[in-house]
Amino acid sequence: MRLSVIGCGYVGLVTGACLAEAGHEVVCTDIDRERIASAHKAGRISYTADAGDAIRAGDAIFICVGTPPKDSGEADLSAIDNVARQIAAEAKTPKLVVEKSTVPARTGLELSRALSAYSKNSGVKHRVASNPEFLREGTAVFDFFHPDRIVVGVEDPSAAAELREIYRPILEKTFRCPVHNGTCPPGHKAEFLVTTINSAELIKHASNSFLALKISYANVIADLCEKIGANVEEVTHAMGLDARIGGQFLKAGLGYGGFCFPKDVQAFIHLSSKVGVDFDILKATERVNKQRIDRFFEKIHQALWVVKGKRVAVLGLAFKANTDDIRFAPALEVVKRLLEEGAFVQATDPEGTPRTKALFPQAQYHEDPYQALQDADAALVCTEWEVFRKLDWDRAGKLMARKLVIDGRNLYTPQAMREKGFEYYSFGRE
């Protein structure tokens, strides 16, 4: 099929590239001309700076533009509105307009209304669908080709049939998997779910907010474990073995960051209060997450006493491992507070350093974690990178001024660290 993708950010690029890989002809466009200039035609995917060309090329148009939060927490939908105007102006034949950006409830219905209004002169009738993505950063291509579910919110059955056809290679596993070099290991099949547009939009928010809530729940359990003298990993592991609960997203520590969870939880709180629904558990989710940094600093102050003038190694800046994304990363807040308290910060991260450097030029940055640990009075672990998990602490211990590790991601076994002669603090395992 011929498909268009508008917006070549993270969602748009992954969607475009994966749909081309699955066998479709894809044309991508973006208002950022540099982004388009740096891409070039490869196989079934092409890029154009002319939105009109992209709009006319596809039978279905995927809208993947940004919906950043405004100061009020509400999502800014002006980019989607602009695309609706462009589609109305440029498309001479009816299109299936697929909303892929994460949007608040009822956006699809508004989009449909706007498209009809903007197309009143041409008389062309476009259809709208909502197709939320569940891609994680760092594993987006894997997630695209191996989804648990593909959700399509539609107004009429023909739109659902068209989307099923678009996703048929993935549903029937007939694509050549780029992640597994051809053959994927056997796994469960994706469910194709047809819902209303409103439900589809809610599914995305409800899923992300639930995962955030699960993390905050595990973090409160960790605090409780510390007070009672239990081990959070023993508790969450046993909880997770109950199939009704599941073991994922129960890792306690510094809490969630990134561009999705903090933003989506906020938008969901905003939406529920706007329609008069009490969603206080989500406010608590957010509060618990913010308090993780306070808890971390309680540990830092307890262990290090005075922070001013101390040399502190910060291991990890990205909001999670395997990404260079530092947006809303807990580590940034940690670095900011350390600097405010007068510490000398020696930070390291396999990918997140350049962006952090631009925000906090007063800190020192090292590619090599052992250099970051040189002469440090304490090491703080903020991101769960594999290189940190595998760090040689005997070697690090010799480099550090004081053998003190405060682990915000529970990467190491307390006993093993103590046997190596470290003072070691983590979450929920004292």
Interface residues with ligand UGA (CB under 6 A) are 102, 133-137, 208, 211, 215, 249-251, 253, 255-258, 260-261, 319-320
- Two tokens, residue 198: 């409103």
Question: Residue 134 Cβ, how far from ligand UGA at the closest point, in Å?
Answer: 4
For residue 6, the one-letter residue type is: I
User: Of 8, 225, 260, 382, which residue is the catalytic one?
Assistant: 260
For residue 216, the one-letter residue type is: S
Question: Could you give the CA distance from residue 317 to residue 359 in angstroms, rounded to a whole number?
Answer: 12
Based on CB atoms, which residue is closest to ligand UGA, 95 or 295?
295
Based on CB atoms, which residue is closest to ligand UGA, 108 or 262?
262
Query: Edge-to-edge, what's the strand order for the sheet holding 60-63?
Result: 45-48, 25-29, 2-6, 60-63, 96-99, 127-130, 149-154, 191-195
Based on CB atoms, which residue is closest to ligand UGA, 169 or 257?
257
Question: Could you give the CA distance from residue 366 to residue 348 in angstroms, rounded to a whole number?
Answer: 5
Question: Residue 379 Cβ, how far from ligand UGA at the closest point, in Å?
Answer: 19
Q: Judge whether 255 and 286 are in contact, CB under 8 Å.
A: no
Q: Judge whether 317 and 349 are in contact, CB under 8 Å.
A: yes
| Residue in the block written with tokens 């995917």 | 45
Q: Judge whether 24 and 52 are in contact, CB under 8 Å.
A: no
Question: Residue 211 Cβ, how far from ligand UGA at the closest point, in Å?
Answer: 6
Based on CB atoms, which residue is closest to ligand UGA, 57 or 317?
317
Based on CB atoms, which residue is closest to ligand UGA, 10 or 370?
10
- Two tokens, residue 383: 């991101």
For residue 365, the one-letter residue type is: Y
Based on CB atoms, which residue is closest to ligand UGA, 381 or 400?
381
Question: Residue 135 Cβ, how far from ligand UGA at the closest point, in Å?
Answer: 5
Question: Residue 322 Cβ, how far from ligand UGA at the closest point, in Å?
Answer: 9
Question: Residue 250 Cβ, how far from ligand UGA at the closest point, in Å?
Answer: 5
Question: Residue 289 Cβ, how far from ligand UGA at the closest point, in Å?
Answer: 9
Q: Judge whether 54 and 33 are in contact, CB under 8 Å.
A: no
Residues composing the chain: 430
The helix (H) or strand (E) run that includes residue 190 is none
Q: Is beta strand 423-425 parallel, antiparallel or unpaired with respect to 404-407?
A: parallel
Q: Helices 280-304 and 261-274: crossing angle, nearest 10°?
A: 140
Question: Residue 330 Cβ, how far from ligand UGA at the closest point, in Å?
Answer: 7
For residue 211, the one-letter residue type is: L
For residue 229, the one-letter residue type is: G
382 as an active site residue: the answer is: no
Q: Helices 261-274 and 197-228: crossing angle, nearest 10°?
A: 110
Q: Is beta strand 127-130 parallel, antiparallel or unpaired with respect to 149-154?
A: antiparallel
The helix (H) or strand (E) run that includes residue 424 is strand 423-425
In this structure, how many other beta carbons lie within 10 angstroms of the beta carbon of residue 184?
15
Question: Could you give the CA distance from residue 99 to residue 201 in angstroms, rounded to a whole number?
Answer: 9
- Two tokens, residue 153: 């919110």
Based on CB atoms, which residue is closest to ligand UGA, 86 or 101?
101
Q: Judge whether 208 and 259 are in contact, CB under 8 Å.
A: no
Based on CB atoms, which residue is closest to ligand UGA, 75 or 260?
260
Active site residues: 260
